[in-house]
Structure 1
């Protein structure tokens, strides 16, 4: 510790350098007046820095929100539709439905930030209702950024008390970061929770260096851990921050206790105290997800991470990851940081400077570890390229803290001076070296300012225009739907529309969630899988309208909707399409208990696999060949038995020579396996039970639905492990049934009467497992 303090004094690192430099001047006792002045400045300096930081935050906020109000006519909006996803969850929580996207939909893991909606809910409860909730979000953002700057200032204090005054200007000078901080998303609040966890960790480190008692260290360690748990609850990628903060604190404790042998045990205990609350938060979230949704992962991770794509090969996933990792680095350095190359690289270069000073090296290593770890994690997210790269912005904020420290070190007179400075004089070389560093620092700052200013102007304009786009399309469409008094709205981009309509919704992407139906995972598999889940929803609870971008969803609106009206957006820079279209929904082709068209008189369904229905597949251990196979398709075609009715069914495309597998209950007596497909050409599918060939399914080829069956031999195990392999060409497996009993074909006319009268046929068939 003595060596560290000496080295910091030589470099001017923690403020001692400045005092040491002037030790000759202050060696004589100061006058009483000057002493009082110094004491007063020392007492009020933290408040002065807080005022300076607050003024800088307010200036930046006014620039962005003022531009927004000029374009929206004074109406609060937001530059991202996703902001209103937070608002949806916040309103539901305030109304007594926590963790729900909309009231009545049940628990949802679709909001990746667990904590932020509850902060917004507080504003809703105290009167910030409707679009005024964005005003509350703006207040939270300003206070959060201020908290971040206050804790960041503690790091720059290692250079000198004056150094931290550079921090607000440097952090808020990058337009893309400001855009995210003031957008209404959780970015600003995340930095506040980071500041809380980091500040608690710094308190722990300083206490360890003062050799405080174990009791004090234990208390501070648990405080840092609880703050880390809140940090994780705000953004799950923060596991990187918790891990690095824990290591930082543990190393400080070990160093203060005299090294690994003497302090290893205390360091390990410190690491556990900082890490355990966050780990418990991870486990608790996973258990809640599993209990309420059937998935260990959150909906956002399922929908956004390439790791969850069932069709990509390992090589494709790795290549995608490398592409996104390169993107997050290059996009910031060559676009957001400057309007021309190579000027954006000045920021990371400045951020490397604190590694050269003993006074700031430990803190620089801490922040660099978080920057690298964060970018490595968010590169897994396929959405990292969108929303103005907001997912990368925490790393950008930490990088700018280091850049501010780098600038401070460059212009600090004592850092890097010759050791002769301690002998009350500076050599000529040292003075020249300092002058060069100051000139370099000023030149770099000037270059950054010149090349960031156009980007700042662009970001302010983008913020305002995007906010106007959200107002003109999403909020207007939501207001129309509210006046229509609809029952439930199907959307493909949960957010402002549902918030403005204040009606229950169903999100096809899956972020919103609907009870335990896995819409997020179904969205990854394909639209047909999502429609299979809509089929499971009771008809009275299905959406009666759709408000979607028609270009996103193929023939969904053409088959299941009737156009009512469109809501356009002019000068679009952020919305997913030029027109949001509202359709009246028609789900009549869906049925909840699917019967084979070829069901014979007296025949009973023993078991059923509805292919592409993820819940049915899960219940039957279904496996399709993957990757690059098993793609989901769906058809809505005339039903062969009931004239004038269409029937929906989704399935998976199985290439010739590849196999799918499933576990189905076997009939107790005679029975058969029946399959449904759509194929214009003849298809033959071999069916095996373990190594035994049971026969083949022969489909003649036709334009509509086609069913084929094979008789099952007696003596099969109670649960059959079947493998189906198409020979020659591919086939689309839509449905499998195991049937038993029966005494012949049921006349089509009788089936029509039975079904329409609601008597024996559909009413007597027991719903099979998994449906």
Structure 2
């Protein structure tokens, strides 16, 4: 009866909360339904691809991509899509799922607090710590996976505590196998949730099923899940690293060395502190009552871990450690605060519940000194609930922001999707918000940010020169016909043609990348022959080339420029004799560049450099560590194509060539290298 009552109350409250958020947004936006995040449509599009039998093919005709941040959520949404909930009908299903996940989080929060404090009275403040946080209710109504992740990770905490507290006879094999399967699945729910899978695995090792040693092998489930996640994407896309990691994880981003990494992590830690303490700026305010919540979490969580109880201390440490590990891992991403801290919010729930449970038990222990044990429980519950209610002020800004964000999506993304539907049916549109424009636009798209398109992210993140090369290097049939972009974000204006349409929000946006999104025709300005030196007929057989700033060409040739930065990745356009105006992406090289080029063994190798030669400079060439030639490059401040010959005695099939600038030489940019067989 008590369990049924809990679930009934939780379901009713969660349904009301999500319904109020949705109704408020509908009323404020003329009755049009929309999520507050464009990323919800990314989940919808992946769900559609699964339902239509082309799993994880985000852009029709393109290969599968790894932009699904929650594989399991996309699979879950694919079921109602296959049953007919297409278009915006899927949004209503996502709202129902969000309400259900929120109800599960209420129940799991109460159950976890009850386990941690060994007292049923603790369930109320534990559940209230989840229910009172309006910022999390925002996520439950966002049509994203955030509420589901929060509910599942809280449930994992309950499972770890229950499993650790049972005697051997009650730790059944079936339950152990179920927990192992959950541990394997957690990275597929969210990669950052993997520590909770490892916590489950540790519990299965410390407390094997039936107390039998052989069942400790179930503890391999967590590591298997961690390994299976990249293997899944490798099997599907040919690359173990996901697009999200390539575009958001600091260790995989260009130009992030140890110093930059340390600085960015420090900035995230500072932001996290101000967010949790409620003392930050406009980005991090409105989520927590200043100091009250953070102090309560720290004091309560510490007490919850050190106290004696039916749940072993190591089990409580596992759950709390998993939450801190998941939260801490996000410090290494450049997206920590994005979308109202949606990546971190699920793991904060566990911290809040530990805080509520610990404060309850601490108040009970102190109260027992002055009252009977029975009398101390309700007083402790009131105290912990009062602390949890300190989260309630977050509802007001969450309601306002939710409606405004939904209005942003309607006013900008829905409107631009309608413009895309007016384009020719064979249009290919490059976009930098990949959700609604693809799902509702009914045209083929390319994600220039690189989340849902496999090759574009490294180009965009390297800089303006690489952004130009992103499509200039593609075959004509793979180039977009249009661009629907935030002009402020776009760093390669030379590929933008005539403006087709522009959408500007009537007020500054709160969730979109910019207030104005513009649709352009695509224009690729390079004339025929731009990819070869002027007068190539005077040269021999082309053996190899490196298109500098084309990240795929650079990677294929091991091209490196030590110390290069985003500002060094440049785009230039000058007239080239006999060809016309040629646009090129390139890099400013301050000291040295290196690459591997093919050659004809024993034959001279002619190297041709395209540079804008803003300064005169002497270049020194070394092949496999041996200096073989020098070249004086005169100042031209337009396209110049100096060449140098490597003697045949130094040429092999594969040649590691190092080109250094002479001491005192000003910066000289490289845009293209060609290797010809000498005559």
Normalising by structure 1, we get a TM-score of 0.80
Let me know the Cα RMSD of the aligned residues.
Answer: 2.8
Residues 559 and 521 (structure 1), Cα distance of their counterparts in 2 relative to 1, 3 Å cut = closer
Q: After alignment, is 624-633 or 185-194 more displaced?
A: 624-633
Cα deviation, residue 445, structure 1: 3.9
> Which residue in 2 is equivalent to 1:763?
none
**CA offsets 1:421-457 (integer angstroms, 9 cap, x no match):** xxxxxxxx441798688657635644653x5443210
Unaligned residue ranges in structure 2 (runs of 5+): 279-284
Residues 144 and 343 (structure 1), Cα distance of their counterparts in 2 relative to 1, 3 Å cut = closer
Q: After alignment, is 312-321 or 383-392 more displaced?
A: 312-321
Instruction: Give the 3-state SS of the residue equivalent to 1:678 in structure 2.
Output: coil
Asked whether the equivalents of residues 148 and 192 of structure 1 are also in contact (C-alpha less than 8 Å), the reply is: yes
> Which residue in 2 is equivalent to 1:271?
219
Cα deviation, residue 390, structure 1: 0.9
Map 1:166-177 to 2 at 5 A. Answer: 166-177=125-136
> Which residue in 2 is equivalent to 1:26?
none
Cα deviation, residue 112, structure 1: 2.1
> Which residue in 2 is equivalent to 1:350?
300
Cα separation, 1, equivalents of 2:245 and 2:528: 31
Cα separation, 2, equivalents of 1:446 and 1:170: 10
Is 1:85 aligned with 2:42? Answer: yes
Q: Select the residue among 659, 667, 670 that pairs with 2:592.
A: 659
> Which residue in 2 is equivalent to 1:422?
none
Asked whether the equivalents of residues 50 and 78 of structure 2 are also in contact (C-alpha less than 8 Å), the reply is: yes
> Which residue in 1 is equivalent to 2:429?
489
Cα separation, 2, equivalents of 1:157 and 1:708: 76
Q: Select the residue among 523, 531, 542 that pairs with 1:605.
A: 542
Q: Give runs of ≥4 in structure 1 deviating > 6 Å.
A: 432-437, 590-593
Cα deviation, residue 199, structure 1: 6.1
> Which residue in 2 is equivalent to 1:465?
404
Asked whether the equivalents of residues 311 and 631 of structure 1 are also in contact (C-alpha less than 8 Å), the reply is: no
Is 1:99 aligned with 2:56? Answer: yes
Instruction: Give the 3-state SS of the residue equivalent to 2:606 in structure 1.
Output: strand
Cα separation, 1, equivalents of 2:587 and 2:481: 28
Cα separation, 1, equivalents of 2:536 and 2:419: 46
Cα separation, 1, equivalents of 2:243 and 2:89: 28
Q: After alignment, is 617-626 or 344-353 more displaced?
A: 344-353
> Which residue in 2 is equivalent to 1:649?
584
Q: Select the residue among 532, 556, 560 that pairs with 1:595.
A: 532
Cα deviation, residue 490, structure 1: 0.7
> Which residue in 2 is equivalent to 1:565?
501
> Which residue in 2 is equivalent to 1:239?
194
Asked whether the equivalents of residues 410 and 441 of structure 1 are also in contact (C-alpha less than 8 Å), the reply is: no
Cα deviation, residue 196, structure 1: 6.1
Instruction: Give the 3-state SS of the residue equivalent to 1:551 in structure 2.
Output: coil
> Which residue in 1 is equivalent to 2:281?
none
Cα separation, 2, equivalents of 1:392 and 1:667: 55
Cα deviation, residue 179, structure 1: 1.4
Q: Select the residue among 376, 380, 384 that pairs with 2:336.
A: 384
Instruction: Give the 3-state SS of the residue equivalent to 1:705 in structure 2.
Output: coil
> Which residue in 2 is equivalent to 1:751?
none
**CA offsets 1:666-717 (integer angstroms, 9 cap, x no match):** 2454441111111322232111113432222333222321110012212222
Is 1:705 aligned with 2:639? Answer: yes
Cα deviation, residue 342, structure 1: 4.6
Asked whether the equivalents of residues 226 and 277 of structure 1 are also in contact (C-alpha less than 8 Å), the reply is: no
Instruction: Give the 3-state SS of the residue equivalent to 1:580 in structure 2.
Output: strand
**CA offsets 1:13-56 (integer angstroms, 9 cap, x no match):** xxxxxxxxxxxxxxxxxxxxxxxxxxxxxxx2211111011122
**CA offsets 1:564-617 (integer angstroms, 9 cap, x no match):** 221011232111111101111112327798211142336321111111222222
Is 1:680 aligned with 2:620? Answer: no
Residues 540 and 253 (structure 1), Cα distance of their counterparts in 2 relative to 1, 3 Å cut = closer
Cα deviation, residue 95, structure 1: 2.1
Asked whether the equivalents of residues 99 and 109 of structure 1 are also in contact (C-alpha less than 8 Å), the reply is: yes
Q: Select the residue among 169, 176, 182 that pairs with 1:221.
A: 176
Cα deviation, residue 512, structure 1: 1.3
Unaligned residue ranges in structure 1 (runs of 5+): 1-43, 258-262, 419-428, 743-771
Cα separation, 2, equivalents of 1:702 and 1:406: 72
Map 1:307-706 to 2 at 5 A. Answer: 307-334=251-278, 335-342=285-292, 344-355=294-305, 356-359=307-310, 362=313, 364-406=316-358, 408-409=360-361, 429-431=369-371, 442=382, 445-446=385-386, 449=389, 451-485=390-424, 487-514=427-454, 518-554=455-491, 556-557=492-493, 559-571=495-507, 572-589=509-526, 594-601=531-538, 603-626=540-563, 628=565, 631-642=568-579, 645-655=580-590, 658-667=591-600, 669-706=603-640
Residues 569 and 704 (structure 1), Cα distance of their counterparts in 2 relative to 1, 3 Å cut = same
Cα deviation, residue 331, structure 1: 0.6
Residues 531 and 91 (structure 1), Cα distance of their counterparts in 2 relative to 1, 3 Å cut = farther
Asked whether the equivalents of residues 90 and 118 of structure 1 are also in contact (C-alpha less than 8 Å), the reply is: yes
> Which residue in 1 is equivalent to 2:231?
284
Residues 466 and 591 (structure 1), Cα distance of their counterparts in 2 relative to 1, 3 Å cut = farther
Cα separation, 2, equivalents of 1:111 and 1:739: 44
Asked whether the equivalents of residues 303 and 523 of structure 1 are also in contact (C-alpha less than 8 Å), the reply is: no
Residues 629 and 384 (structure 1), Cα distance of their counterparts in 2 relative to 1, 3 Å cut = closer
Is 1:63 aligned with 2:20? Answer: yes
Cα separation, 2, equivalents of 1:359 and 1:677: 72
Cα separation, 1, equivalents of 2:302 and 2:23: 35
Instruction: Give the 3-state SS of the residue equivalent to 1:706 in structure 2.
Output: coil
**CA offsets 1:475-527 (integer angstroms, 9 cap, x no match):** 1101111122351111122112222202111111100114xxx3222233223
**CA offsets 1:133-177 (integer angstroms, 9 cap, x no match):** 211111111222223333444334443445434443320211211
Instruction: Give the 3-state SS of the residue equivalent to 1:107 in structure 2.
Output: coil
Normalising by structure 2, we get a TM-score of 0.90
**CA offsets 1:231-263 (integer angstroms, 9 cap, x no match):** 210101122111112112322349x85xxxxx7
Asked whether the equivalents of residues 671 and 712 of structure 1 are also in contact (C-alpha less than 8 Å), the reply is: yes
Cα deviation, residue 300, structure 1: 0.6
Is 1:211 aligned with 2:169? Answer: yes
Cα separation, 2, equivalents of 1:577 and 1:109: 26
Residues 711 and 717 (structure 1), Cα distance of their counterparts in 2 relative to 1, 3 Å cut = same
Instruction: Give the 3-state SS of the residue equivalent to 2:229 in structure 1.
Output: helix
Instruction: Give the 3-state SS of the residue equivalent to 1:707 in structure 2.
Output: coil
Map 1:4-15 to 2 at 5 A. Answer: none
**CA offsets 1:100-122 (integer angstroms, 9 cap, x no match):** 22211211112222221121122
* Equivalenced residues, count: 663
Residues 678 and 694 (structure 1), Cα distance of their counterparts in 2 relative to 1, 3 Å cut = same
Cα deviation, residue 276, structure 1: 4.9
Cα deviation, residue 474, structure 1: 0.9
